[in-house]
Amino acid sequence: MNWSNTQAEQYEHWFTTPKGRFVLDRESRLLQRMISTWPRRKQKLVDIGCGAGHFAHMFWEWGFDVSGIDASPAMLKRARVLMDKHMQLQVGVAERLPYDDNEFDFAALITVLEFCDDPVAVIAEAARVARKGLVIGFLNRYSLYYLLHVRSQRKLLESVWAKSFWFSWWEMQRCIISALGRQPLCARSVLPGPMCSWRATPFFKQLGGVLLPPYLGAFVTVRIDLLGEPVKTPLMAWNTEPSL
């Protein structure tokens, strides 16, 4: 989706609000948990549909060598401010990536499939350029957040959700299988409550961050391991044998 300056500003403003910061923190913790077994040092990751760069910046902070691509110059302008010189950015569409096969170790698709005309083609392209794995973050159409707050907004032309399509977990599974066949994957979700529960008090922070099955929470993360088995971090090496 080629976001206008107005839509980009609206999207960016969300992350400055208390609810926006709360949601981004819960989403970040889920993503970090889901890819915790992936190696980081000298590992190249492309953030497809990187938008304003919030998640790309997280991947960079977690140790990946990050590149970003997005169809919206208005979004990339904001990503350049956030990332400075830490990431290579370019304009391009997710269905036809300007990269070689296996150019990256990993690829990320975070809340971008909702705005793509052909999500199956986008997932297939991501797998083409990534050798080891994909991580997909998507928004759940059966979550309380969608049913109570977003469904009505999609009718408003000025809403950032006006042209979006939210997925159920079962629809996302079908998209992944259509694009890649059956692959080892792991999926979890967070943010099960409505917007009134997105508050940074101890109880609501715990509720919003509980790892749930992928059909419950508003934000779902799927890790797909393209090598056939999950990439695993080596166990700690002991200088001496641990005592029994």
Q: What is the CATH number of the domain that holds 37?
A: 3.40.50.150
Give the pLDDT of residue 235.
44
More confident residue, 81 or 233: 81
In a domain, 234, yes or no: no
Give the pLDDT of residue 234.
46
Give the pLDDT of residue 22.
93
Pairing, β 130-139 against β 104-110 = parallel
pLDDT digits (tens, 9 = 90+) for 80-125: 888 767 788 999 999 999 999 999 999 999 999 999 999 999 999 9
Domain that holds residue 100: 5-225
Instruction: Output helix, strand, coil percentages for the chain, rounded to the nearest 5.
Output: 40, 20, 40
In a domain, 161, yes or no: yes
Cα(16)–Cα(153) distance, rounded to whole angstroms? 20
In a domain, 28, yes or no: yes
pLDDT digits (tens, 9 = 90+) for 49-85: 998 889 999 999 999 999 999 998 888 888 888 876 7
Give the pLDDT of residue 81.
84
Of 36-40, 213-217, 228-232, the poorest mean pLDDT is in 228-232
Give the pLDDT of residue 236.
43
In a domain, 240, yes or no: no
In a domain, 22, yes or no: yes
Cα(212)–Cα(195) distance, rounded to whole angstroms? 17
Instruction: Indicate the pTM of the whole model.
Output: 0.88
pLDDT digits (tens, 9 = 90+) for 119-173: 999 999 999 999 999 999 999 999 999 888 787 665 544 556 667 789 999 999 9
Give the pLDDT of residue 159.
58
Domain count, the chain: 1
In a domain, 15, yes or no: yes
What angle (nearest 5°) sits at the alpha carbon of residue 146, between those of residues 144 and 150? 135
In a domain, 145, yes or no: yes
In a domain, 41, yes or no: yes
Cα(118)–Cα(114) distance, rounded to whole angstroms? 10
Give the pLDDT of residue 155.
54
